[in-house]
Amino acid sequence: MTQTIERETTTQGPQERVDQWLAEFEAALAARDVEAAAGLFAVDSYWRDLVSFTWNITTVEGRDGVADLLRAQLEQADPRGFATTEPPTEADGVTEAWIEFRTATGTAKGHLRLKDEGAWTLLTSLRELTGFEESQGTSRPQGVSHELSKGRTSWKEEREAEEADLGYGTQPYVVVIGGGQGGIALGARLRQLGVPTLVLDKHDRPGDQWRSRYKSLCLHDPVWYDHLPYLPFPANWPVFAPKDKVGDWLEMYTRVMEVPYWSRSTVRSATFDEAAGVWSVTVDRDGESVELRPTQLVFATGMSGKANVPTFEGQDVFVGEQQHSSQHPGPEAYAGKKVVVIGSNNSAFDICGALWENDADVTMVQRSSTHIVKSASLMEHGLGDLYSERALAAGVTTDKADMIFASLPYRIMHEFQIPAYEKMAEVDAEFYERLEAAGFDHDWGDDGSGLFMKYLRRGSGYYIDVGAAELVADGKVKLAHGQVARLTEHSVVLEDGTELEADLVVYATGYGSMNGWVADLIDQATADRVGKVWGLGSDTTKDPGPWEGEQRNMWKPTQVPQLWFHGGNLHQSRHYSLYLALQLKARYEEIPTPVYRLQEVHHLG
Amino acid sequence: MTQTIERETTTQGPQERVDQWLAEFEAALAARDVEAAAGLFAVDSYWRDLVSFTWNITTVEGRDGVADLLRAQLEQADPRGFATTEPPTEADGVTEAWIEFRTATGTAKGHLRLKDEGAWTLLTSLRELTGFEESQGTSRPQGVSHELSKGRTSWKEEREAEEADLGYGTQPYVVVIGGGQGGIALGARLRQLGVPTLVLDKHDRPGDQWRSRYKSLCLHDPVWYDHLPYLPFPANWPVFAPKDKVGDWLEMYTRVMEVPYWSRSTVRSATFDEAAGVWSVTVDRDGESVELRPTQLVFATGMSGKANVPTFEGQDVFVGEQQHSSQHPGPEAYAGKKVVVIGSNNSAFDICGALWENDADVTMVQRSSTHIVKSASLMEHGLGDLYSERALAAGVTTDKADMIFASLPYRIMHEFQIPAYEKMAEVDAEFYERLEAAGFDHDWGDDGSGLFMKYLRRGSGYYIDVGAAELVADGKVKLAHGQVARLTEHSVVLEDGTELEADLVVYATGYGSMNGWVADLIDQATADRVGKVWGLGSDTTKDPGPWEGEQRNMWKPTQVPQLWFHGGNLHQSRHYSLYLALQLKARYEEIPTPVYRLQEVHHLG
């Protein structure tokens, strides 16, 4: 029977209300009374679990969803010890609480929003595996044994021996393909958890993923949003760090966190050895061919995946240069040249801006509408409550901000986002008027929910303005519209017949799904089995339904056993690397990990 | 008139008592009533000022001392705005308070201990110069301009241009000789303060100061005591970091904090150009001779200064190897060899222990009594209240611990230290019995005040046992006693006639005063003008009187204008680099810096 427990809401304060809910929830769970537990949720309710109950990243909705999850997972999760970790608060009829609890395998934290009717949102997240806690603080390593012994080795000798052996004598349990912020953050967590791991990257040094980009690139997200695990940026770190400074930080971080990392190492192929249950990964390590045999394989090749290079008639006759935005070397060589940039998202704007600064004659070709927000406005109205000095002063630490963010169910997240973008439209009205007067086709997302929902749904369709939109608004960067029909020897011709002279054509045409890398390195069949990576199934532009409720294939089991995806921006690399690392650690320690509701594949890529 | 203000101690709580004292102190200072202000101190009282009133590091004692300081400095300091920063506490008749105030030039923090009679101890410290605050937190740099412009340069281009120009086109205001933790920490602070600085170091890379030491070396101080400014070690950092890991950290720190640093650069000479008021520093920069013209010259060459290599008859006929402990390459080459180590302090023990682990036949020659404490006991009873996870859990942050430590006047610090060492003697009684049974001559310092006072007074005479003392206690490392008479072809002969066969003799004979470097690089006359560096004038072994009250010549003006000394352990490199950096910044900005009571020179070195 699904029932609603009566509560004396009139006489209770927030602490009492939450304590009572938690006690009733725990009692129902202890009694394995799934219906009673589900009845503690509101009719419209959302329970998001990050690994703690489900060994998956999943959101269930409503009492039926809760009941379904519990029927499948309650026995193995065996949760108990629910308690608040600080006094709950109440506003607008919603009581909010930070909670902790234990499961059969670990300790967990969570966040609860209660309405009169019951739980409206519940976030539960696994934080540590019992018996496999990280060595930090009081349990940090000693670093030196205080008993001398014959033949004792030093830290340096041990590190050198380990490095020489890993991948040859000893096989890593996890291989991570790609050593940008995603691979590095995951590598650091797995190192802390004692999981033998090897991060592979094609560049010369960690951080070259950033250093090799165009010279004016800075992070578009602010410092408070960008910390890596364990070692936050210092208080003097710039709000928007220049790419070479980010590169230096990643290199330093890799070294001091002792992330096992092979630079100059390109994966040539990977196949799954069904009999042995391990992957066979062929790596070109600075010219040497090495065969790795990891149990788990993680793609951290950049959530943008593989470059989309469009095919146009005449590309073979065009006599100038053509390059995808990811290959653009920066503006230095193009002073006085005519450049046509196809596309109008982040990369297009950044490249157009830098080319204009270096005296190129630049035309941007807008093929479809784009969402633009001014960086300062996004910081103030979009992120400021969670990631800013203001948030820190209000006690919202990075970890807390990550958890608040994670506590908002994707199904209703757009509702929280829309007012922020309405505010930005208001404060920057004059800017948008000028931009549209210049002919720019601007949008706010299908439902007006703005940049972050576009990022989560499709990973494209926007630009955070750090100056280049002003160049378009006042005509310094020229604007053309429509699809490309063909290239000639010296120009780009649009479908409406407009002809744009060009010495250089930059295809700022975005990226495909990350499973493109799977097709390249494993095979197309495996890529198809995995399906599309990224997106929520929101049935909005470039994010077809059905509704998934979580990012497709990210940080959670896929349809291909022992194959995982990791990535995203620095925030996601930081926060979700925890849950992926715990899933990998559990498998390494052979802890049972029954997965609830393994996602289905609805789209190939 | 020196008077004691009546207080209604029976009815006041700690907050009221401190508020009243601060109000009366501020009123007296505002009225320039030196006697009234001095009367607020107890008869036996100590005011330690770190730069805020005195532009010096100095401690005055009693009401006369307070009055003398105020007569000289009050007008220029013009202090006001005294207030507590958190609720004061009371225990054993002493009320403790954390305070803040402003001076004519900056903001300051302090700590106050009140007894019924008045202030017992007062610590005042300058924290920031008004108008020259560091860019941190809310004032951190943006990192990118959100307005594009023609010819805009990138962070990398600016850094490269700055590096190419510094020391050639642009002269640094400060040159720091020595790029270990001291030079690096000071360099980082001066960088934050915008003072053009260049740190010079002879090694290949930052951190090689540690990497080049013997392989088993780990920090003897624990992690909580060792943080550098701005960027604390992460929570997984070992308690006692291995030397190569420290080296990696220093290298990365130097890079991410953008410390201007020349590696492979040896200072050949320095002379003061009286007419121009600048130093002329000749540097061998990786084979190129460069002339630098800084206004301020800082020696950060290691507080241990120059190696003391003793002279013995027969050193020229000895056929084996002889090396100072600082030159010892580690034990690898000495398996099966007979090694005699002269000395019985930290280096001697560490080297003996590592040699024994590598199967050398080791004899330690103890020339005078030595103080030994077990590392774990020192952590628990000596440092644990200030620098430990326990301290952090009790709200004692690193900065707070530094300030508490700084608030204990050196005159009475030994009284606080003695009980801790009595406790260690008790808990480790069995260990000391065994050690003495093995013939080891052990002491607890002249007045039983133990290790830290020995460090402050003489910088020698102790070993923090991380295992090697056990080898002496059980005879695995042999022990001999007395002074060396001479060396023969194959042995060391002691004054009592004992002859010790040797393939290698290690002189673990310590270091001289840092002004030995001044004699080498400038001249003996300047070294003599500076006088002895380090020590308190405690009139104990190797720390002759008269009483100085502060470390001689460290982090404060010396008798040689524009010449400074910086160094010490990581704690001192962190905390005192702040005050040295502020003194240098004030001079760079031409803020008046009238020095109170410039120290006199009583000893040459």
d(CA B522, CA B514): 13
Which residues of chain A lie closer than 8 angstroms to B252, CB-CB?
251-252, 255-256
Structure tokens at A354: 């830098």
Q: Is B287 on the interface with A (CB under 8 A)?
A: no
In chain B, % of residues over pLDDT 70: 98
- Helix, coil or strand: residue A537: coil
Residue linked to tokens 């003599």: B528
- pLDDT higher than threshold 50 for residue B267: yes
In chain A, % of residues over pLDDT 70: 98
Residue A10 has what pLDDT?
Answer: 56
d(CA A455, CA A461): 8
Mean of pLDDT values over A10-30 = 94
- Higher pLDDT pick, A605 / B175: B175
Smallest Cα distance from B353 to chain A, Å: 7
Smallest Cα distance from B385 to chain A, Å: 14
Mean of pLDDT values over B136-148 = 87
CB A187 within 8 A of CB A197: yes
pLDDT band at A605 (very low <50, low <70, confident <90, very high): confident
- Helix, coil or strand: residue B533: coil
Contact: B245, A141; criterion CB under 8 Å: no
Model confidence pLDDT, tens digit, residues B352-364: 999 999 999 999 9
Q: Is A137 on the interface with B (CB under 8 A)?
A: yes
Q: Is B228 on the interface with A (CB under 8 A)?
A: no
Candidates A147, A256, A466, partner chain B, best to mutate (most B CBs within 10 A): A256
Burial (CB < 10 A; 0-12, 13-18, 19+), residue A298, is buried
d(CA B269, CA B522): 6
> Strand A89-91 vs strand B499-501: parallel, antiparallel, or unpaired?
unpaired
- pLDDT higher than threshold 80 for residue B268: yes
Residue linked to tokens 């505002």: B30
Q: How many A-B residue pairs are in contact by the CB < 8 A criterion?
A: 171
Amino acid type, B365: V
Residues 6 or more apart in contact with residue A464 via CB below 8 angstroms: A220, A346, A372, A373, A375, A378, A451
- Residue A23 CB coordination number (10 Å): 12
Cα B21 versus chain centre, distance: 33
pLDDT band at B477 (very low <50, low <70, confident <90, very high): very high
Secondary element (H or E) of residue A471: helix A468-473
Residues 6 or more apart in contact with residue A312 via CB below 8 angstroms: A484, A485, A486, A487
CB B177 within 8 A of CB B197: no
Model confidence pLDDT, tens digit, residues A463-497: 999 889 999 999 999 999 999 999 999 999 999 99
Residue-by-residue DSSP string for B274-297:
TTTTEEEEEEEETTEEEEE--SEE
Query: How many residues are listed for chain B in this entry?
Result: 605
Model confidence pLDDT, tens digit, residues A51-61: 999 999 999 99
A151-171 in b/e form (b: 16+ CB < 10 A) is: ebebbbeebeeeeeebbeeeb
Model confidence pLDDT, tens digit, residues B311-321: 999 999 999 99
Provide the β-strand partners of residue A198: A175
CB A368 within 8 A of CB A441: yes
- pLDDT higher than threshold 80 for residue A269: yes
- Helix, coil or strand: residue A311: coil
A305: region left, alpha or beta (phi > 0 left; psi from -120 to 50 alpha): left
Model confidence pLDDT, tens digit, residues A160-202: 999 999 999 999 999 999 999 999 999 999 999 999 999 999 9
Contact: B234, A249; criterion CB under 8 Å: no
- Rounding to the nearest 10 degrees, give the CA dihedral for residues A213, A218, A223, A225: -70
Residue A340 has what pLDDT?
Answer: 98
Mean of pLDDT values over A445-465 = 95
Contact: A136, B236; criterion CB under 8 Å: yes
Give the residue on A whose Cα is nearest the Cα of B149: A357
Smallest Cα distance from A24 to chain B, Å: 33
- pLDDT higher than threshold 60 for residue A7: no
Mean of pLDDT values over A280-303 = 96
- pLDDT higher than threshold 90 for residue B500: yes
CB B278 within 8 A of CB B294: yes
- pLDDT higher than threshold 50 for residue B1: no
Mean pLDDT of chain A: 95
Q: Is B215 on the interface with A (CB under 8 A)?
A: yes
Chain B, 55-94: which have a CB under 8 Å from a chain A CB? Answer: none
- 3-state SS string for A47-84: EEEECCCCCCEEEEEHHHHHHHHHHHHHHHHCCEEEEE
- pLDDT higher than threshold 90 for residue B9: no
Amino acid type, A85: T
Contact: A140, B239; criterion CB under 8 Å: yes
Give this complex's ipTM: 0.92
Contact: B239, A141; criterion CB under 8 Å: yes
Q: Is B467 on the interface with A (CB under 8 A)?
A: yes
- pLDDT higher than threshold 90 for residue B513: no
CB A222 within 8 A of CB A382: no
Phi/psi at B463 (5° precision): -140, 130
Secondary element (H or E) of residue A129: strand A118-129
Residue B305 has what pLDDT?
Answer: 63
Which residues of chain B lie closer than 8 angstroms to A468, CB-CB?
148
d(CA B423, CA B400): 25
Cα A565 versus chain centre, distance: 10
Residues 6 or more apart in contact with residue A389 via CB below 8 angstroms: A224, B137, B138
Candidates A236, A379, A428, partner chain B, best to mutate (most B CBs within 10 A): A236
Structure tokens at A108: 């967990």
Amino acid type, B401: A
- Higher pLDDT pick, A88 / A220: A88
Contact: B238, A148; criterion CB under 8 Å: no
Amino acid type, B506: V
Rg (chain A; Cα; Å): 26
Residue A4 has what pLDDT?
Answer: 47
Give the residue on A whose Cα is nearest the Cα of B237: A140
- pLDDT higher than threshold 80 for residue B303: no
Structure tokens at B222: 């624990």
Structure tokens at A375: 């960086």
Q: Which of A146, A148, A389 sits opposite B356 (nearest CB)?
A: A148
Residue-by-residue DSSP string for B407-475:
HS-HHHHHHHHHHHHHHHHHHTHHHHHHHHHTT--B---TTS-HHHHHHHHTS-SEEEESSHHHHHHTT
d(CA A60, CA A51): 13
Candidates B133, B142, B148, B350, partner chain A, best to mutate (most A CBs within 10 A): B148
Which residues of chain B lie closer than 8 angstroms to A146, CB-CB?
374-376, 465-467
Chain A, 388-407: which have a CB under 8 Å from a chain B CB? Answer: 389, 392
Mean of pLDDT values over A112-123 = 98
Mean of pLDDT values over A541-565 = 97
Mean of pLDDT values over B567-583 = 96
- Helix, coil or strand: residue A94: strand
> Strand A57-61 vs strand A41-50: parallel, antiparallel, or unpaired?
antiparallel
CB A191 within 8 A of CB A166: no
Residue A262 has what pLDDT?
Answer: 98
Provide the β-strand partners of residue A317: none
Which residues of chain A lie closer than 8 angstroms to B467, CB-CB?
145-148
Which residues of chain A lie closer than 8 angstroms to B135, CB-CB?
236
Smallest Cα distance from B270 to chain A, Å: 34
pLDDT band at B304 (very low <50, low <70, confident <90, very high): low
Contact: A236, B358; criterion CB under 8 Å: no
- 3-state SS string for A329-370: CCCHHHCCCEEEEECCCHHHHHHHHHHHHCCCEEEEEECCCE
**SS percent in chain A: helix, strand, coil, step 5:** 35, 25, 40
- List the Cα angle A194/A261/A328 in 5-degree steps: 140
Contact: A234, B230; criterion CB under 8 Å: yes
Which residues of chain B lie closer than 8 angstroms to A142, CB-CB?
238-240
Model confidence pLDDT, tens digit, residues B377-428: 999 999 999 999 999 999 999 999 999 999 999 999 999 999 999 999 999 9
CB A25 within 8 A of CB A53: no
- pLDDT higher than threshold 80 for residue A11: no
- Rounding to the nearest 10 degrees, give the CA dihedral for residues B275, B279, B283, B285: -110
Cis peptide upstream of residue A242 (ω within 30 degrees of 0)? no
Contact: B239, A389; criterion CB under 8 Å: no
Smallest Cα distance from A466 to chain B, Å: 5
Model confidence pLDDT, tens digit, residues B55-111: 999 999 999 999 999 999 999 999 999 999 999 999 999 999 999 999 999 999 999
